[in-house]
């Protein structure tokens, strides 16, 4: 029954208490985003030489940035959306509500403790290496306690989503999960594993800080495990949200059928674990054969994301062509671009293409040791963290928050330009950052003047990073702020976005309609990857550099 209604209708029909939980979680997530973006701009301004602060303050900005935005913004939003969509599957609301509220409470307390730990004591950066506080164990306490509570929340909260999804089956009201239900189930399972990995990584530090456990010698290895999960999970979430949002904005479902979508979603569980090998590329004694195997396996990690991308683009393309779309790209103009969520998805897809090209460069065994400790890394991964994942999460919130009883979206005509402005800033930030990386500018180093010995170009590139970073931060703050306004109680109706979507779901697709844009995009990505790898090798050979091992991302 629920499946005959649109997503906004299903969200609007959820019980009050569930809508309150979703609003509370969205408010906390957006707060973490605001804190994180402000600290990110501060870091960019310090690195660009536009703000002069002591080194410790620079690292504090970077710590607050990484902790608030990577751990709390990404994961509180994901869990909120997971719960909301799971509750929508059958429209009857959440199962095990008290557990969901308790888990949210733990995550909120975690944010508070992590922030307190980040602004006091030694700035630990977001990986919280205990090595930095060997003589000061107490400095690790609040920081690790925050992450551990988040980890516990991530283990408990998805349980409510899982039971919500399975309940109708247990009651004999459903024989199989829908494609979205299945994807949510896999996403929830992956979150539980990640929560456990976070506990496994950060609890030993608490015990050491309290004087009841040994020094956590294996923190580095454990961090790689939790980190590997934590940066692929948001990508899986992105793809699931594209799938749902395309349905909400255009009415289009996959033309390949539910079963194929389920296979693609389950591919994440198969492909993500073995790809963790590339985090070992910086180990000095790594045998060549492991390097080659690592590079090959790393390529696989993009398989589910690219396949899901192909399904979504092809489904949209054949429907848009049936609506009269012409030319290789002409059909794209028929998409509902007036809705801010659509522009956010458009910007997210383009950012993902850029991110993938440079990720392929970085996972090559021979380039990784040369680039891994340079600004190449933050230069390319912001295409994923800002452009792809954060844009998609915001797109989803822009649909969910007005639907669960908040205000209509604030000024959609202004908001719809923000993803493009953010993408423009990101292109400057990314291009300057990646070039800086090729030129050897180190990451996580606040002052790169090296007694005025550093090349002048380094400073110009970091200045461009600061300018591009400020533009993308401003656009992101306006976009998120406009969406956050929907958390306020409803007032007089303003510009509703309901009329900005299209409804192509009921239209039959003309037989023989072809879809080319998906495969063409992938060809372009692969060609660009070859070009930038070749540029990397050429540049590296011309630089007077040698590489040695160091920490991963």
Binding site for ligand HEM (CB under 6 A): 37, 40-41, 43-44, 47, 62, 65-66, 69-70, 73-74, 125-126, 378, 382, 385-386, 390, 443-444, 469, 472-473, 476
**Helix 74-90 crosses helix 391-403 at what angle (to 10 degrees)?**
50
Handedness of CA 450, 362, 72, 476 (dihedral sign): positive
Task: Give the span between the Cα atoms of 63 and 516, in whole angstroms.
Answer: 44
| 5 versus 38: smaller Cβ distance to ligand HEM | 38
Which one, 162 or 471, has the nearer CB to ligand HEM?
471
In the complex, least distance from residue 387 CB atom to ligand HEM, rounded to whole angstroms: 9
For residue 30, the minimal CB distance to ligand HEM (Å) is 12
Tokens of 311: 């399904």
50-65 in b/e burial notation, b at 16+ Cβ within 10 A?
ebeeeeeebbbbbbbb
Cβ nearer to ligand HEM, comparing 267 with 423: 423
* Smaller CB separation from ligand HEM, 73 or 410: 73
3-class SS of residue 445: coil
491 DSSP 8-state letter: -
Shortest distance (Å) from residue 69 CB to ligand HEM: 4
Report the alpha-carbon distance of residue 368 to residue 204 in Å, rounded: 30
Nearest to 443 by CA among 66, 50, 54, 32: 66
Nearer to ligand HEM, 78 or 390 (CB): 390
**For ligand HEM, the closer CB: 405 or 469:** 469
User: What 3 state SS string does 532-551 have?
Assistant: HHHHHHHHHHHCCCCCCCCC
Separation between Cα atoms, residue 73 and residue 26, nearest integer Å: 9
Residue 478 CB, nearest approach to ligand HEM (Å): 11
Q: Which is nearer to ligand HEM, 45 or 334 (CB)?
A: 45
| Residue 48, SS3 per DSSP | coil
Question: 10 Å Cβ neighbour count for 290?
Answer: 16
Nearer to ligand HEM, 44 or 316 (CB): 44
Rg (CA), the chain: 23
DSSP 53: -
Residue pair 132/124 in contact by the 8 Å Cβ criterion: yes
Closest CB to ligand HEM among 29 and 106?
29
d(CA 199, CA 202): 5
How many CB atoms neighbour CB 492 within 10 A? 6
Q: Which residue has the tokens 């897809």?
A: 349
Least Å distance between CB 521 and ligand HEM? 24
CB of 497 to ligand HEM, least distance (A): 24
We find the least distance from the C-beta atom of residue 235 to ligand HEM, in angstroms, to be 12
Find the distance separating the first CA and the last CA of the chain, reported in whole Å. 46
Q: How far is the CB of 461 from ligand HEM (least distance, A)?
A: 12
Question: What are 367's strand-pairing partners?
Answer: none
Shortest distance in whole angstroms from residue 188 CB to ligand HEM = 21
Least distance (Å) between residue 448 CB and ligand HEM: 10
Residue 536 structure tokens: 């990397």
CB 277 to ligand HEM: min, Å? 21
Cα–Cα distances (Å) from 116 to 60, 284, 295, 430, in that order, read 11, 36, 39, 31
What contacts 477, CB < 8 A, 6 or more positions away?
Answer: 34, 37
- Nearer to ligand HEM by C-beta: 444 or 459? 444
Q: How far is CA 53 from the centre of its chain?
A: 30
* Nearer Cβ to ligand HEM (73/208): 73
Phi and psi, residue 197, nearest 5°: -60, -35
Maximum Cα–Cα distance across the chain: 73
For residues 145 and 117, the answer to whether their CB atoms sit within 8 Å is: yes
How far, in Å, CA of 6 to CA of 198, rounded?
36
Is the CB of 19 or the CB of 443 nearer to ligand HEM? 443
Shortest Cβ 464–ligand HEM spacing (Å): 12
Shortest approach of ligand HEM to residue 389 CB, angstroms?
Answer: 6
Q: Token pair of 205, please?
A: 């530090």
Residue 481 Cβ vs ligand HEM, minimum distance, rounded to whole Å: 13
Closer CB to ligand HEM, residue 231 or residue 338?
231
The closest alpha carbon to 373, from 282, 287, 460, belongs to: 282
The DSSP symbol for 407 reads P
122: tokens are 């030694």
Query: How is residue 531 written in tokens?
Result: 């070009």
């Amino acid at each position: 029954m629920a499946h005959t209604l649109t997503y906004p209708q299903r969200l609007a029909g959820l019980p009050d208490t569930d809508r309150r939980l979703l609003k509370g979680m969205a408010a906390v997530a957006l707060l973490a985003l605001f804190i994180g973006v402000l600290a990110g701009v501060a870091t960019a301004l310090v690195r660009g030489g536009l703000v002069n602060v002591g080194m410790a303050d620079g690292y504090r900005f970077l710590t607050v940035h990484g902790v608030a935005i990577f751990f709390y913004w990404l994961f509180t939003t994901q869990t909120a959306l997971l719960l909301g969509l799971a509750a929508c599957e059958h429209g009857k609301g959440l199962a095990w509500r008290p557990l969901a509220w308790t888990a949210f409470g733990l995550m909120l307390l975690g944010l508070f403790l992590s922030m307190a730990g980040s602004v006091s004591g030694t700035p630990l950066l977001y990986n919280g290496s205990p090595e930095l506080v060997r003589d000061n164990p107490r400095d690790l306490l609040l920081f690790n306690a925050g992450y551990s509570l988040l980890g516990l929340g991530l283990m408990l909260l998805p349980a409510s989503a899982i039971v919500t999804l399975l309940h109708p089956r247990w009651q004999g009201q459903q024989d199989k999960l829908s494609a979205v239900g299945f994807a949510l189930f896999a996403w929830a399972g992956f979150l539980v594993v990640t929560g456990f990995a976070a506990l496994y990584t950060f609890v030993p530090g608490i015990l050491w800080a309290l004087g009841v456990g040994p020094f956590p010698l294996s923190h580095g290895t454990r961090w790689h495990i939790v980190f590997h999960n934590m940066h692929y999970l948001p990508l899986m979430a992105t793809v699931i949200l594209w799938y749902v949002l395309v349905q909400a904005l255009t009415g289009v479902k996959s033309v390949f059928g539910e079963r194929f979508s389920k296979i693609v979603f389950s591919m994440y569980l198969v492909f993500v674990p073995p790809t963790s090998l590339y985090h070992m590329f910086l180990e000095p004694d790594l045998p060549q054969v492991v390097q080659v195997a690592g590079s090959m396996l790393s390529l696989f990690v993009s398989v589910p994301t690219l396949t899901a991308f192909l399904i979504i683009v092809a489904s949209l393309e054949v429907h848009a062509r049936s609506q009269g779309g012409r030319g290789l790209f002409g059909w794209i103009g028929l998409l509902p671009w007036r809705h801010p969520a659509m522009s956010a998805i458009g910007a997210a897809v383009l950012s993902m293409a850029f991110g993938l090209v440079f990720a392929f460069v970085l996972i090559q065994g021979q380039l990784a040791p040369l680039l891994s400790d340079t600004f190449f890394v933050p230069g390319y991964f912001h295409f994923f963290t800002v452009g792809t994942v954060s844009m998609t999460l915001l797109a989803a919130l822009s649909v969910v928050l007005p639907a669960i009883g908040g205000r209509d979206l604030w000024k959609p005509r202004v908001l719809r330009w923000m993803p493009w402005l953010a993408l423009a800033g990101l292109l400057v930030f990314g291009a300057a950052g990646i070039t800086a990386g090729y030129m050897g500018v180190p990451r996580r180093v606040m002052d790169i003047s090296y007694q005025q010995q550093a090349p002048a170009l380094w400073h110009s590139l970091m200045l461009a990073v600061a300018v591009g970073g400020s533009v993308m931060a401003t656009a992101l703050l306006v976009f998120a702020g406009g969406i956050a306004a929907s958390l306020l109680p409803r007032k007089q109706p303003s510009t509703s976005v309901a009329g900005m979507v299209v409804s192509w779901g009921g239209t039959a697709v003309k037989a023989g309609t072809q879809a080319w844009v998906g495969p063409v995009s992938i060809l372009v990505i692969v060609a660009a990857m070859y070009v930038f790898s070749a540029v990397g090798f050429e540049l590296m050979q011309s630089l007077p550099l040698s590489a040695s091992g160091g920490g991963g991302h």
